Amino acid sequence: MKTIDQLLADGVAGKRVFVRADLNVPLDGTTITDDGRIRAVLPTVTRLAEAGARVVVASHLGRPKGAPDPAFSLAPAAARLGELLGTEVAFASDTVGESARATVEGLADGRVAVLENLRFNPGETAEDDAERGAFADALAALADVYVGDGFGAVHRKHASVYDLPARLPHAAGQLIAAEVAVLRRLTEDVERPYAVVLGGAKVSDKLGVIDHLLEKADRILIGGGMAYTFLKAQGHEIGTSLLQEDQIPAVRDYLKRAEERGVEFVLPVDVLVSPAFPDLGTKAPAHPAVVAADAIPADQQGLDIGPASRELYASKLADAATVFWNGPMGVFEHPDFAGGTREVAQALVDTPAFTVVGGGDSAAAVRILGFDEAAFGHISTGGGASLEYLEGRTLPGLAALED
């Protein structure tokens, strides 16, 4: 895989360099609530611009249905990128149309432009190879060189991720190179003990990674909504807690295999419960109660791991040499149920281990809860991509960058 270092050594001055970034930031109206993904692409964009390239940044945002939708415009992201770069960033109001062509043609050496949301064009996500290829052809006409740096999208077989690199000289950006290096540390010659913390809402989202990590991890700690399917599989009452009943057979199989392989599987010993899901708008007090994980009242739902579980999880991470964490321990967006996620994050900060926060809600939680990002070994920009890599899958966007 050619890197941006090699690309810069070859010279990019005056060339149109298409940077496939991941600017899929959360928005409250037109206000960006977390600019972490924009900051993540800054090193690549900055190096290219300083080398005299004409930088064309492109990304998706949200899930528009193949047509322009103002709610998913990248205009706020383009403006924020300009603020972080300290320079004006041009913005094209379409993807491959008149505005895109004029904007790119007007770029001077060392300047940066952002195209409108790639998913406004149905060709970006089309399953039909010809339709995707036609859009990739149109994008290729805007550039001389391709740099893949949108790690959060490399698990998607989309036009700008998979098809476009085949049409242009290509290289991996600084972010993708860093992400792959970290993931290799989690899969090849791992320093042990290796602890994995998995949370989030659904067991089904993590089945593949659990299956694969049973071969690699020493400990797997489970929290979040997915924990209640595990507790149910052990025969416990879980009240009205989140449950994926169809996953119980798979969960029982994982618990059995973990025991057979000597992998320590850690589940909550207590939880915070409430009769109703909390109001995330007003953040009104929910008055949660602490109950044993095997004694959740029938009319209550678990919304966070309890204090004893937090202490247990911290102890299981304290002597680890490598830790991978993906998924919050509870409804961290509400202050009454943020404690479990906060304590797990703090445990990662406190351990001398190499720690990786696996993107998605985990990365958002770290920032929302006020942690210094530098206190972690690595914070990934791609939760789904990280998980699929750890499952052992081939990621289309990475395969496309290989020579």
Could you give the residue numbers annotated as active site? 37, 202, 360, 384
- Report, in angstroms and rounded to the nearest whole number, the Rg of the chain calculated over CA atoms: 22
Residue stretches of the annotated binding site for ATP: 206, 302, 333, 359-362
Tokens of 361: 């809600």
Tokens of 236: 């416990």
Spatial neighbors of 378 by CB under 8 A, at least 6 apart, are 178, 179, 182, 355, 356, 357
Terminal alpha carbon distance of the chain: 6
Q: What is the torsional sign of CA 78, 79, 83, 89?
A: positive
DSSP string, 340-379: HHHHHHHHHHHS-SEEEE-SHHHHHHHHHTT--GGGSSEE
State how far the Cα of 45 lies from the Cα of 200, in Å rounded to an integer. Answer: 32
Neighbours of 394 (CB within 10 A): 9
Residue stretches of the annotated binding site: 22-24, 37, 60-63, 119, 156, 206, 302, 333, 359-362
Residue stretches of the annotated binding site for substrate: 22-24, 37, 60-63, 119, 156
Tokens of 129: 């190879």
State how far the Cα of 206 lies from the Cα of 209, in Å rounded to an integer. Answer: 5
State how far the Cα of 156 lies from the Cα of 178, in Å rounded to an integer. Answer: 19
Tokens of 17: 């360099």
Dihedral class, residue 145 (left if φ above 0, else alpha if ψ from -120 to 50, else beta): beta
Side chain identity at residue 230, one-letter code: F
> Whose structure tokens read 């593949």?
208
State how far the Cα of 222 lies from the Cα of 328, in Å rounded to an integer. Answer: 10
State how far the Cα of 143 lies from the Cα of 49, in Å rounded to an integer. Answer: 15
Using the 8-state DSSP alphabet, how is residue 160 labeled?
Answer: I
